[in-house]
Structure 1
Amino acid sequence: MIEVTRFNGKKFYINSDLIEFIEATPDTVITTTSGKKVVVTETVEEVIEQIINFKSKIYCLKDKQLRKAE
């Protein structure tokens, strides 16, 4: 899950695995696999960076767990 901000200032979390598209129109629009669209204040680059950071944490933890099991 990544944290993003609506234009009204409210922060919320979105499941990055359910993101299908991220567009700059010029506002950043996130489209989920269900077709729901959310406009956020973060740039496309910031959203992508958050996704990369989140996924790297997950895979790092998984890798550490696999190494412990060996």
Structure 2
Amino acid sequence: MINVTRLNGKAFVLNAVFIEVVETFPDTTITLTNGRKYVVKESEDIVMQRVKEFYQSVSLLGHQHMGEDEDEE
């Protein structure tokens, strides 16, 4: 799930798994696989970054190591 904001300022949570297309014309429009569209304040780049972070958090993409050292025993 990702947090986004409607143009009227109301925040909501969107299930990133169902995002099919993210476009900017000029407002960022998110189209879901069911055809529903949401126009949001966030830029396309921000939405895509949040989607990527979501996918990583549920192990759909590889996790980036944040400089944490793991014990190798």
Could you state the TM-score of these two structures normalised by the residue count of structure 2? 0.78
Instruction: Determine if the alignment matches structure 1 residue 5 to structure 2 residue 8.
Output: no
> Paired residue for 1:16?
16
CA-based RMSD of the aligned residues comes to 1.6
CA distance in 2 between partners of 1:59 and 1:32 (Å) = 21
Q: Kindly provide the amino acid, as one letter, of the partner of residue 32 in structure 2.
A: T
Give the TM-score taking structure 1 as reference length.
0.81
Q: Percent identity?
A: 43
By percentage of residues, which structure has more helix? 1
Q: Which runs of 5+ in 2 are unaligned?
A: 64-73
Which SS does the other structure have where 2:59 is aligned? helix
2:35 & 2:27 partners in 1: Cα distance? 17
Partner residue in 2 for 1:55: 55
Report deviation, 1:46: 0.2
